[in-house]
Structure 1
Amino acid sequence: MCRVSDLRQAVLERNDTRAERLRAELAARGTVVVNLLSSPGSGKTALLETELRLARERGVAVAALTADLATENDARRLARSGATVKQVLTDGLCHLEADMLAGHLAGWLPEATRLLFVENVGNLVCPASYDLGESLRVVLASVTEGEDKPLKYPTAFGLAQLVVVTKQDLAQAAGFDREAFLANVRQVNPGVEVVDTSVRDGLNLGVLLERALVVGAGTAAHRPVMARPAGHAHDGPHTHGGPDDGARGHGGPHTHDGSQAHVGG
């Protein structure tokens, strides 16, 4: 009898295989992919809009694919930057997968694209376990979310290659303890870089662009993300009802027929 855990592992292994192939395909065309993960309301879209605008100003060929359960709101916001943008509506699916991403890129992503930002579905559970073939994985957390976020979501923060703290302009009002947050990050991911940002105050804007360009230019370009920590294929049961999730869970094979919209480009 097939256990649910065995089925889930098979799904993840199949995804990893597809992710490696996609990573190689994108590397061959010189495209760096940045996978952005966060809870809803972290300020991810606001920061990404700024990063896209900066990339355009510097003449970097950039595109963004944003995934949500519903609405095209984020794509409309991102398109204001002038970048090529695509909205993917997952119709309730709580994460993107490598095969889904490959399908959405086919025939859409301009050949000359140097950087592709993927704004994953807003939660820190499901997306954490799925390699998308990215070159750089970034986890964002706002100062309003609490210092224990890394401990609550060890897979998401444990696999991050960069942690970005957003809304630093609200840190004092929120009573954010930065040292406690950093200690918790180090507990699940020793040595990972942590950068503070504020779109409102202009703090460290361009950090995503700069790190992505470094990855693209360096000898470690297009390297795979870290292997999932032992015992943390998922941070908990694959069901979602809390504020960080907002979507139904999926632990087995899926079909992906969610609608999509194109904005810009």
Structure 2
Amino acid sequence: MCTVCGCEASSKPKHADEIIREDRNFGLGEAGVSIPGYSQERLIKIEQDILSKNNRYASANRRWFNEHQFLTLNLLSSPGGGKTTLLRETLKNLKAKISIGVIEGDQATANDADKIRALGVPAIQINTGKACHLDAHMISHVLNDLKIKPGGILFIENIGNLVCPAAFDLGESCKVVIFSVTEGEDKPVKYPDIFSAADLVVFTKIDLLPHLDFDLDRAIEYSRQVNGDLDFIKLSAKSGVGLLEWQEWILAHHQVLKSKTASNANQHKAHSNA
């Protein structure tokens, strides 16, 4: 748990019992974290209160997204993982096909939102100050300002952080982890919560692989140890390799959402007429 926002890991690390005597693990208690002056029971209560409130807002957001038939993607990564670059290239190719909007999350500045607006795509910047992630309440405040037609796609670019955003549902359709090959391939086991919560892992900057010691197969293996249901896409926003597969994944999930929404509407209509 960080002292600002109350985030904390939801489970005991799988490797916790393997730590040698000289090492220290402050995540072995029931709360998964240790903070001076707080008992494990108190920390658990704080977490429950924070996440319960967030989940209520997330549920309301999800209803709103469904009513407007939005596919909403929560993009997550380390700082510098390539989220904004990938998002810009994605928008260039999709903006003529479908209504799109973006919510940008950063502690400060509107730099990324300005980059998106420069493409002619509506973007809303959320600055979180000392908070290290977006939460559902923040998202709820900007919903009515989104300039997206019903049936469109909303991209939420979360703050660069592999810890805090994992626990906070925003009401999104899917969580996508952007995993740069300039990082260590063991990121999934070092930061298991965010990979466990994800629906898709997108490996970025693969054009750099010939110059790195990154083991892509090992990174996939580590990811599957944490979450066996993950899908994977490998791409380079610079060279364009893999971008088509990424865009097809987005459009396929968008179509599934539209079909599901239409089916639910028909069932509701039939029930009302019964």
For 1:68, the equivalent position in structure 2 comes to: 106
Q: Contact between 2:106 and 2:127, CA under 8 Å: does it hold in 1?
A: yes
**Any idea what SS the aligned residue of 1:144 has?**
coil
Relative to structure 1, the CA distance from residue 68 to residue 206 in structure 2 (aligned partners, 3 Å threshold; closer, same or farther) is farther
Alignment of 1:124-163 (within 5 A): 124-163=162-201
1:71-110 correspondence to structure 2 within 5 Å: 71-110=109-148
Q: Which runs of 5+ in 1 are unaligned?
A: 224-265
1:8 aligns with 2:47: yes
- In structure 2, the partner of 1:24 is 63
Q: Distance in 1 between matches of 2:259 and 2:250?
A: 9
Most deviating of 175-184 and 109-118 = 109-118
Confirm whether residue 51 of structure 1 aligns to residue 90 of structure 2: yes
Q: Which range moved further: 78-87 or 167-176?
A: 78-87
Instruction: Check 1:186–1:174 CA distance in 2 against 1; reply closer, same or farther (3 A cut).
Output: same
Amino acid paired to 1:86: I
CA distance in 1, matches of 2:245, 2:259: 17
Q: Distance in 1 between matches of 2:61 and 2:199?
A: 19
Unaligned runs of 5+ in 2: 1-39, 262-274
- Secondary structure (helix, strand or coil) at the match of 1:195 reads strand
CA distance in 2, matches of 1:103, 1:32: 18
Structure of larger gyration radius:
2
Given that residues 215 and 222 in structure 1 are in contact (C-alpha distance below 8 angstroms), is that contact kept between their aligned partners in structure 2?
Answer: no
Paired residues of 1:139 and 1:160 also in contact (CA < 8 A): yes
TM-score, normalization by structure 2:
0.76
* Residue 165 of structure 2 corresponds to residue 164 of structure 1: no
Letter in 1 for 2:196: G
Q: Are the aligned partners of 1:27 and 1:222 in contact in 2 as well (CA < 8 Å)? A: no
Distance 1:81 1:28 in 2: 27
CA contact (8 A) 1:23 1:222 kept: no
Q: Whose relative contact order is higher, 1 or 2, with alpha carbons under 8 Å and at least 6 apart? A: 1
Tell me the CA shift for residue 113 of structure 1: 5.9
Contact 1:39-1:122 at 8 Å conserved across structures: yes
Deviation sequence 1:55-100 (CA, Å, 0-9, x none): 113x210001111111211112222322111111111210111111
Match of 2:142, SS state, is helix
Percent identity of equivalent pairs:
38
Name the Cα RMSD after superposition: 2.0
Aligned-partner SS, 1:54: helix
Shift of 1:15: 1.2
Aligned residues: 222
From 216, 222, 230, give the equivalent of 1:192: 230
Q: Distance in 1 between matches of 2:235 and 2:112?
A: 20
1:137–1:161: 8 Å Cα contact kept in structure 2?
A: yes
* Separation in 2, partners of 1:31, 1:14: 23
User: Judging changes above 3 Å, is the alpha-carbon distance between structure 1 residues 17 and 206 closer, same or farther for their aligned structure 2 residues?
Assistant: farther
